[in-house]
Amino acid sequence: MAIYHLSVSNVSRASGSRATATLSYITGKRVHDERRGETYDYGRKERVLRVGTLLPEGAPAEFADPAVLFNAVELHETGRTARPAKKIVVALPREFTPRQRVQALEEYIRENLNADGYAATYAIHEDREGNNPHAHILVANRQIDPATGGWARLKQRMEYVLDERGERVPLIDPETGRQKTDKRGRRQWKRTSVSLNPLDRKAKLKALRESWAKTCNARLDETARIDHRSLEDQGSDLEPTIHEGYAARAIERAGGVSERCEANREIRRSNGLLTAIRTELGRIFDRLGELFAAKIRQLRQRQARPEPDREPNWRYFEGDARRQLEADRADHTAAIRGKLMGAKADVRNREEWWRSHGTEEFEAAKQIIDVARAASREARDANVFKRGRLLRNAEQVAGEQSEKLRGAVPWLEDTDIPSDWDQANRFRMRATKAIHDHDMQPRTGLVDELERRLEQAERAEGEKPSPEQVKALALRMAEQRERAAEDPTQETPPQAPQEPPKPIRTKKALTDRFKTRLDERLAENERKQAEKQAEPDMEETWDLSDPADPLNIGMGWGTGGHGLGL
């Protein structure tokens, strides 16, 4: 079965990582670092199945050699905290043929990286047993200018530094201990420079995750489709597995038992049990639906038969019929009232969720609008000499962000972001409220519908059954009694409907029963795990900080953690 995995990490010089060292690891080749004068040879060639480099439009031809490409970006990025590259790791579906793996990877790189001006090298790996197919994509963290063939200049902007409460941090004068002010007496606040590299944006990461799922699903059967969303976003109550990593799998291959692998096995067993419960419940409810449909057909056939000339003595059952109709109405009202309580609870839970979360559309809209707000704020605060140019820039940015907003939230009616600061703030409040109301509308609409139905049911419950309804039900009771008298094998129906009915096995009762069994099984597994942990641990420990540890040497210690990451 195909699984989904995509992770993005930075090759950061501040943490000791090098783009050339990472390249050596993923390609299994010796790579010389021209900036540091060092040579790296971390690769395990037997695990590398294919290596390829894809370049954007206008890139120099010599960049087709990945060693030249990543030495060039290392030489260009001179800062001590520079991040010359990013590494993307994706799981390749086992259903893919070798040709499909290459096609999917290269299509993904061209559409998501090359199209934006980024050069990238990929390497396809497998483990020793030929399992765990995955790919590493090393991306130069700076775009290539198609006009010059050189590295593009990254745009930056200044933003206020915010504290944990989201408030601006004052700029303190070390001599006086007070907040600094400018010549006009305006207070000064700490500011920092923020890179506008598209690969650093959260929206781009979400787009990369979604695009990989679409690229794979285009080549997979419907039964093997993958989903880039988390279990929480999918609305699933299954427990997600944890990250195992190369070291845990190495322990398992050596015949040991890794705690992380064992935890994942337990999670898969629990999820399998939950899935089996849902399957069994679905089968039961399908069977109940079939029985209900058969009963409906039987009743319709009985009603279609011509009535005999002699009318049964229905008045004997008149009182029972009236009480049965009143009880049915009361049950109907109670059922609607219970659904209404559940719907209102769902609205409250969703409102509580909104206080600390937001949908993808909500977060994307805020980020898009905030870009336009920042431009309008800059124009508002500018002096008279810069204001005209910045106002024109604010109008241009507002137009561009409006187009993005229409793409991110296509159903939103008003997507024209104003270029004025105050109007942009009011627009942000209206847009976020509209997204919130749009998300809540199905739930609030259900509450309104159930309240209307409850009002009708309560009104009907307060009215007496009509004589026609009482007679129709009493006739059916009388006919059933006569048929029972003619056929001794048929069970005689109960005389009085006030007798307690047999307990009904509802969906909730079945679910509670299965959950009880699941809790008992999980408790037994926890007890066994506790007994196992109480035994003396003879397993050799793995010291992540020790460069002499064999596992760290095998994973390229000191290169920023260039392990599989799967």
Instruction: Round to whole Å and give the CA distance between 516 and 514.
Output: 5
Q: Which residues pair with 140 in a beta bridge?
A: 85
Mean confidence (pLDDT) of the chain: 81
Residue 310 has pLDDT above 70, yes or no: no
Model confidence at 15, pLDDT cuts 50, 70, 90, reads confident
Q: Enter the CATH code of domain 6-149+202-228.
A: 3.30.930.30
Q: How many residues does the chain have?
A: 566
The predicted pLDDT at position 562 comes to 41
Give the pair of three-digit tokens for residue 522.
């999980």
| pLDDT mean over 350-370 | 85
Q: Which residue has the tokens 């409810």?
A: 285
Q: Which amino acid is at 27?
A: T
Nearest C-alpha neighbor of 424 from the set 358, 379, 388:
379
* Secondary element (H or E) of residue 85: strand 85-91
CB of 139 closer than 8 Å to CB of 120 = yes
Band of pLDDT at residue 561, cut at 50, 70 and 90:
very low
**Structure confidence at residue 106 as a pLDDT band (50, 70, 90):** very high
Lowest-confidence pick of 106-110, 159-163, 542-546: 542-546
For residue 231, give both structure tokens.
């279990």
Give the model confidence (pLDDT) of 123-182 as tens digits. Answer: 999 887 777 889 999 999 999 998 898 998 876 677 788 888 888 889 898 888 888 888
Q: What is the mean pLDDT of residues 263-270?
A: 81
Q: Work out the pLDDT band at 472, boundaries 50, 70, 90.
A: confident
Provide mean pLDDT across the span 487-499. Answer: 52
Q: Which of 294, 232, 241, 312 is nearest to 486 (CA)?
A: 312
Predicted pLDDT of residue 27: 92
Residue 349 has pLDDT above 50, yes or no: yes
- From residue 227, give the alpha-carbon distance in Å to each of 210, 224, 251: 8, 10, 30
Residue that has been written with the tokens 């009771």 in this structure: 477
Range of weakest confidence among 121-130, 251-260, 340-349? 251-260
Q: What is the pLDDT of residue 160?
A: 81
Cα separation, 177 vs 442, whole angstroms = 55
Whether residue 305 has pLDDT greater than 70: no
Tokens representing 245?
């990593």
Give the integer Cα–Cα distance in Å for 92 and 119.
21
Res. 277 pLDDT band, cuts 50 70 90: confident
Contact 378, 396 (CB under 8 A): no
Does residue 334 register a pLDDT over 90? no
Alpha-carbon distances, residue 556 vs 48, 80, 112, 249, 358 (angstroms): 16, 21, 28, 17, 39
Instruction: Catalogue the E-assigned strands of 126-249.
Output: 134-140, 156-160, 191-195
pLDDT beyond 50 at 448 = yes
User: Can you give the residue ranges of every domain in the chain?
Assistant: 6-149+202-228, 156-195, 314-499
Q: Which residue has the higher pLDDT, 549 or 354?
A: 354
Per-residue pLDDT of 173-185, as tens digits, reads 888 888 888 888 8
Query: Going by C-beta distance under 8 Å and a sequence separation of 6 or more, which residues neighbour residue 15?
Result: 560
What pLDDT, on the 0 to 100 scale, is given for residue 546? 55
Phi and psi, residue 38, nearest 5°: -110, 160
DSSP secondary structure of 396-421: HHHHHHHHHHHHHSTT-S-----SSH
Mean pLDDT of 273-296: 84
Name the residue with higher pLDDT: 438 or 251.
438
Local structure of residue 495 (DSSP, 8 states): S
Which residues are within 8 A (CB) of 315 and not within 5 positions of it... i.e. 6 or more apart?
A: 474
Q: How far apart are alpha carbons 386 and 519 in whole angstroms?
A: 68
- The average pLDDT across 460-468 equals 84
Instruction: Calculate helix-pair angle for 202-217, 98-112, nearest 10 degrees.
Output: 150
pLDDT for 236: 58
Q: Give residue 74's pLDDT band: very low, low, confident or very high (50, 70, 90).
A: very high
- Segment 349-358 shows an average pLDDT of 83
With tokens 């241009």, the residue in question is 396
What pLDDT score was predicted for residue 103? 93
The contacts of residue 89 (CB under 8 Å, 6+ apart) are 5, 6, 7, 9, 134, 135, 136, 137, 564, 565, 566
Cα three-residue angle 559-565-566, rounded to 5 degrees: 160
- Confidence check: pLDDT of 351 > 90: no
With beta carbons less than 8 A apart as the criterion, state whether 365 and 433 touch.
no
The yes-or-no verdict on residue 285 having pLDDT over 50 is yes
pLDDT of 536 > 60? The answer is no
What's the CA gap between 300 and 201, in Å, rounded?
63
- Three-state DSSP class for 116? helix
Select from 215, 231, 273 the least CA-distant residue to 90: 215
3-class SS of residue 157: strand
Other Cβ atoms closer than 10 A to 180: 15
**For the residues 214-233, what does the mean pLDDT come to?**
72
Which of the listed ranges 26-30, 222-226, 494-498, 501-505 does the model predict with the highest average pLDDT? 26-30
